[in-house]
């Protein structure tokens, strides 16, 4: 019954003991006439302890057989002290970026895209940046330089920016007098002198960027691979490429590269995806893709909490770089 099953040397001893007890239990005198009464009494007394020992030995053998079956017929591995392994990698928290002390004016008027506004509010709160919401009347009529350091126009509808902001010159004056303008997608189209949409050309009066913003080039809701320009100082703190969500934003063409910093290019076509430049005493940053947004394609849901592909650390570093360059 134990063929092919490992039995320890101790179990072999038990088997031998069982054999001896079994012989004892079967013991009969060969010549009944030679057995004395005392001998018969002695044999009877020996049989009861022998039976007990026989049963105990069988139980022990059963335990060994079950243990051997559980271990597939192999002896249990000896317990050895664990050898010290190589050091486990330690998750290194990125250094907290230097605090950016400025007020961000977030345009919330007609044309702005609600999910993008939510994402920007969350981004600014995450990095402890003061947010001042600015409607279309304020952006057209008030002295923006007294209100904010950066003016942000998110994605949405550039045609509505064009039609509902009454005084485009007020924004240009803000930049020329030292303010910084940041435009994502529709905000970038609006800031360009020429917008090319599906091959059709449109002139835009704000004209912060003297070239052309053209699109769309990729599928709406696709993840665009962005090649970062290593010559831009803050890009050196990030991988060579990042992925950002694309929702119809522009490529930037028709400009002199000596006058414009190309922060990143679309990997698919090599065109400028994110640019920055000086205007008067101020700075402008325009982005075709959306580093501020995440996206869940399966649910077709815009994510606004800095997850699902949003590139908030890169965006914050870009804003720091923009502000610091404007102070030079």
pLDDT tens, 138-155?
999 999 999 999 999 999
How many domains, in total, are found in the chain?
2
Per-residue pLDDT band for 277 (boundaries 50, 70, 90) equals very high
Residues 222 and 286 both lie in one domain: yes
Instruction: Using pLDDT thresholds of 50, 70 and 90, give the confidence band for residue 19.
Output: low
Record the pTM: 0.71
User: What is the domain-level CATH number for residue 306?
Assistant: 3.40.50.880
- Do 201 and 255 sit in the same domain of this protein? yes
Please give the Cα distance from 105 to 148 (Å, whole number): 5
DSSP string, 32-43: GGG--HHHHHHH
Can you give the residue range of the structural domain that contains 42?
9-70
Flag whether 87 is in a domain: no
From 70, 88, 111, the end of a domain falls on 70
The verdict on 285 and 140 lying in the same domain is yes
Predicted pLDDT of residue 187: 98
Quote the pLDDT of residue 238: 98
What pLDDT is stored for residue 76 in this prediction?
Answer: 44
Inside any domain, residue 83:
no
Residue 318, CA atoms < 13 Å, CB-side half-sphere: 28
- Are 244 and 179 contained in the same domain? yes
Whether 47 maps to a domain, the answer reads yes
pLDDT of 110 above 80: yes
| 295 and 146, same domain (yes or no) | yes
Give residue 87's pLDDT: 42
Q: Which of 45, 70, 95 is where one domain is finished?
A: 70
Please state, rounded to an integer, the average pLDDT across all residues of the chain.
Answer: 82
Tell me the pairing of strands 209-215 and 192-197: parallel
Q: Is residue 270 in some structural domain?
A: yes
Specify if 236 maps to a domain. Answer: yes
CA 165, CA 134: separation in Å to the nearest integer?
12
Specify whether 169 is located in the same domain as 232.
yes
**pLDDT-based confidence at residue 91 (cuts at 50, 70, 90):** very low
Q: Which residues, 6 or more positions from 307, have their beta carbon under 8 angstroms from its beta carbon? A: 294
Residue 90 lies in a domain: no
Name the domain boundary from 70, 91, 115.
70
194 & 301 share domain = yes
How far apart are alpha carbons 179 and 151 in whole angstroms?
Answer: 8
Token representation of residue 64: 């060994």
Instruction: Give yes or no for a contact between 282 and 178, defined as CB atoms under 8 angstroms apart.
Output: yes
User: Which residues are bridge partners to 275 per DSSP?
Assistant: 262, 286
Instruction: Tell me the pLDDT tens digit for each residue of 267-276.
Output: 999 999 999 9
Neighbour count for residue 144 (Cβ, 10 Å): 23
Whether residue 167 sits in one domain with residue 31: no
For every residue of 117-171, which 3-state class applies, written as one string? HHHHHHHHHHCCCEEEEECHHHHHHCCHHHCCCEEEECCECHHHHHHHCCCHHHH
**Judgement on whether residues 61 and 111 belong to the same structural domain of the protein:** no
Assess if residue 92 is contained within a domain: no
């Amino acid at each position: 019954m134990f063929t092919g099953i490992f039995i320890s040397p101790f179990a072999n001893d038990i088997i031998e003991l069982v054999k001896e007890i079994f012989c004892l239990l079967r013991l009969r005198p060969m010549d009944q006439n030679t057995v004395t009464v005392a001998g018969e009494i002695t044999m009877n007394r020996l049989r009861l302890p022998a039976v007990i020992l026989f049963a105990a030995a069988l139980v022990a053998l059963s335990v060994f057989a079950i243990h051997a079956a559980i271990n597939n017929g192999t002896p249990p591995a000896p317990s050895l002290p664990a050898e010290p392994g190589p050091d486990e990698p330690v998750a290194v928290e990125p250094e907290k970026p230097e605090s950016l002390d400025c007020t961000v004016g977030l345009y919330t008027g007609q044309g702005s895209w609600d999910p993008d506004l939510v994402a920007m509010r969350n981004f600014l709160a995450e990095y402890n940046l003061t947010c001042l919401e600015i409607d279309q009347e304020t952006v057209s009529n008030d002295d923006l330089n007294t209100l904010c350091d950066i003016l942000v126009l998110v994605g949405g509808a550039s045609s509505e920016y064009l039609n509902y902001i009454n005084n485009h010159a007020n924004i240009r004056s803000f930049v020329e007098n030292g303010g910084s303008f940041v435009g994502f997608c529709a905000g970038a189209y609006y800031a360009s002198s020429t917008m090319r949409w599906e091959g059709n050309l449109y002139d835009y009066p704000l004209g912060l960027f003297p070239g052309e913003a053209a699109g769309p080039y990729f599928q709406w809701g696709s993840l665009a691979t962005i090649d970062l320009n290593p010559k831009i100082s803050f890009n050196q703190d990030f991988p060579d490429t990042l992925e950002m969500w694309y929702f119809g934003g522009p490529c930037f063409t028709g400009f002199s590269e000596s006058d414009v910093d190309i922060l990143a290019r679309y990997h698919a076509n090599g065109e400028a995806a994110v640019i920055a430049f000086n205007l008067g005493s101020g700075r402008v940053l325009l982005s075709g893709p959306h580093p501020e947004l995440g996206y869940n394609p399966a649910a077709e849901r815009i994510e606004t909490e800095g997850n699902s592909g949003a590139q908030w650390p890169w965006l914050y570093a870009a804003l720091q770089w923009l502000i610091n360059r404007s102070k030079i």
